[in-house]
Amino acid sequence: MVNTMDKKYICGLKQSDFQTTVDHKKTDLFILSNTHGNEVAITNYGGAVVALMIPDRNGVKANIIQGHDNIQDVMSSPEPFLSTLIGRYGNRICKGKFKLHGKEYQLGINNGPNHLHGGPTGFHARVWDAQMMNEQTLVLHYVSAYGEEGYSGELKTTVMYTFTNDNELVIEYLATTNKKTIINLTHHGFFSLSGIGTPTPSIENMMCEINANYYIPIDENSIPTGEILKVDNTPFDFRTPKTIGQDIGADHEQIKYGAGYDHCFVLNKEEEDELSFAARITDPASGRVMEVYTTEPGVQIYTDNWATGYKGQFGATFPKRSAICIEAQHFPDSPNHTYFPSVVLEPNMQYKQKTVYKFSVAD
């Protein structure tokens, strides 16, 4: 489908700039809009959210998620996971190895010695079948073949994006398999609540609250040590709001291993799988607030520690620590830690998770 007349959107993106063919499947741009005239722009290549137009305290709308303005740049981004869907397994698996039924599986290696975010051709690099249900809902489908990136089982996945009139971006995940496998889907949004720019401002002065009494420490290769530690008296205590930058340079082994924050926080939950509050980010400069709710047991907090200042949408640049990622998920390397919540999906089961990003303005 090629548009000869591009509709004008407040995000400034053109649908035709996202239309091409990849592996015999067509890519496109889909715009969700609510009754306030706010927009979410999504491409079916990797399910990437390429724009999220949200007003500040003065009602001025800006794009608060990092992305690109055409499909070629999305596909060749220096950050391959830039605001994309992640699968089959979000986060790292040690040396790309795990066992099911006594059989060892070897996954693709793409992060030092480890498998990261589903591998080099994971869900972020696939063209999804897309269907606009209405102005506020987009449904994406993808069938991951048996053996893709080394995983067992054929995995049928559906992801539904909904942009509500309460300025909530709701992401719902469903999946089934025909053979026992592992799964851990997430979304890797790179959020810049001040709005993207040249350069995009630092996140270090933003206030952060995380509903977690515990976090998961990592080794020098960013793999969990197997411990689950209290956040008390560490840089990882965000139970009372503090700036992201307050302890990001602390003389602490874990901060050094992550080059900042790149850790999974164990969310406080009264019931397993309940949709509950995970985190809140407040930008004092713009007044924008983002709250995250999820059914997942954890959130990976990543403070954009490795960005290089590369160019994104409309000439904006994305330097180090210009975004925060709050990736709702199960724990890293769970298949190799039996006491972590299970990520195994059986043929008679349905994988189902939900994450909500709610945007507002501080009082």
**pLDDT for residue 2 is more than 70:** no
How many CB atoms sit inside 10 A of residue 297's CB? 19
For the chain, list the domains and their CATH numbers.
8-196+302-363 (2.70.98.10)
For residue 222, what pLDDT band results from cuts at 50, 70 and 90?
very high
| Gap between the terminal Cα atoms of the chain | 45
Mind telling me the catalytic residues?
188, 327
Average pLDDT, the chain: 97
Residues in the chain: 363
Q: What is the pLDDT of residues 12-54, one digit of tens each?
A: 999 999 999 999 999 999 999 999 999 999 999 999 999 999 9
Here the contacts of 216-219 (C-beta below 8 Å, separation 24 or greater) are 216/263, 216/264, 216/265, 216/266, 216/298, 216/331, 216/332, 217/254, 217/263, 218/254, 218/257, 218/258, 218/262, 218/263, 218/332, 219/257
Res 363: pLDDT: 82
Res 357: pLDDT: 99
Torsion of CA 264, 265, 271, 272, to 10 degrees: 10
Res 3: pLDDT: 45
Res 26: pLDDT: 98
Q: What is the mean pLDDT of residues 120-130?
A: 99
The one-character DSSP state at 313 is: G
Close Cβ partners of 251 (under 8 Å, ≥ 6 residues apart): none
